Structure 1
Amino acid sequence: MSGKLVDNDDYPRQDIDVYAVRFARNRIICLQNDHKALMKLIEDGIHDVHTAARNKRDSENSSQQTSSEQIQDLQMAFLQVNELSPLSPAENAGLRVGDEIIRFGSLNIENFDNMQSVANVVQHSMGQSIPIIIRRGEHIHHLNLIPNIWHGRGLLGCNIAPIHKR
């Protein structure tokens, strides 16, 4: 990149293609400038992402300072397992008859409208894990349910029904 292209008498060197070397040097310099510009854009983007994450975390921290009543509402079950088929995806996930569902994927007591919303979550999660939070007696359990086709009816192999609606 910095070697001389002329000899001691200031004539072009005969052992190299001066035009090709100058062209290659120019191309490398242009690419280096493009690289610097892209790295600057990436750096600015990273700063923006971290600023947004910090703002989100700060807003979540302020919203987490909720009353104990709101926290209690989020622990309320809205679905209950009424039936469970043997060897079904629901049984494989660890569900039992009588389990009360506090959270089913993105659904909880706050945003649950009807059983169609549960069906939508199941249909869109076929073959993928749905995180669920259940209450079994006095204990809270976190399970992963994978809706899938099996030898029985439906994708879950259980019957769930609403138990509480706001």
Structure 2
Amino acid sequence: MVETNLKAETMRLMKQRDLIEAEMNSIIQRLCQPGGAGLSGNLLDFEGFPRADIDVPTVRADRCCVAGLKNDYKDLTEKIDHNLQLLHAPKLVSKSSAPMDSETGKAMDSQTPFISNGCSSVSPGRAFGRNSAVLAAVDPEVKQPFAMVDEITEASPSAEDGLQLGDQIVKFGTVESGDNLLSRLASEAQTNVGRVISVMVMRQGALTNVSVTPRIWRGRGLLGCHFKIL
């Protein structure tokens, strides 16, 4: 019953996240339309007055809304990841079938299960979200990282959206490991200008989801970062 409720709750959170993503995409497309202010464009003219070619209060409200939605998206993703970890965690061993301590002859405590990380046993509270082996076990479809962020320009879309130097890319939108990765990454960004792309990265040994939005800004490219193929 508990597992069924957790699955239902996770599905509900996923649907809620999809709605937030759709709303974000709609606002971002409006902001990034030709002649628009974008997500970070200057709202003042060269004389320091509010630009006359855009509705400055509306743009500010839209930007504020996107920032709030991104926070909500991140929170939901963390809850979903936590639920998935719980759903895939080893079941607690019952008292009746608990292993016996060879020295005391008593059943070992079934309420303190251990999860193997490939080297030693650690409690779930320390393993979840911190060990890449545990996270890979949670989702067997997770592939190995295929690229790494080795350069990020300050104030670029990738920097503002949360990518970090050293992030290892596991999945970038629809792009996973394979051939012609650089061209596929570039094509994915160009195809999704003004739309949110879900990026799965390995960061300090833990899988993390980041939402990035390719867009025109004052620097080069649509993201302002460089990927090194691993």
TM-score, normalization: structure 1? 0.52
Whole-angstrom CA distance in 1 between matches of 2:222 and 2:169: 17
Q: Which runs of 5+ in 2 are unaligned?
A: 1-135
Letter in 2 for 1:83: E
Specify the alignment match of 1:157 in structure 2: 224
Whole-angstrom CA distance in 2 between matches of 1:73 and 1:106: 14
Whole-angstrom CA distance in 2 between matches of 1:106 and 1:119: 12
Specify the alignment match of 2:169 in structure 1: 101
Specify the alignment match of 1:77 in structure 2: 145
Cα deviations across residues 3-27 of structure 1 (Å, max 9, x unaligned)? Answer: xxxxxxxxxxxxxxxxxxxxxxxxx
Whole-angstrom CA distance in 2 between matches of 1:119 and 1:151: 18
Specify the alignment match of 1:132 in structure 2: 199
Cα deviations across residues 111-142 of structure 1 (Å, max 9, x unaligned)? Answer: 45331111110100000001000011111110
Backbone CA RMSD of aligned residues: 2.0
Specify the alignment match of 1:120 in structure 2: 187
Deviation at 1:86, TM superposition (A): 0.7
TM-score, normalization: structure 2? 0.38
The structure with the larger Rg is: 1
- The aligned runs of 1:12-91 (5 Å cut-off) are 74-91=142-159
**Percent sequence identity over aligned pairs:** 29
Paired residues of 1:74 and 1:108 also in contact (CA < 8 A):
no
Aligned residues: 94
Q: Which runs of 5+ in 1 are unaligned?
A: 1-67
Larger relative contact order (CA 8 Å, sep ≥ 6): 1
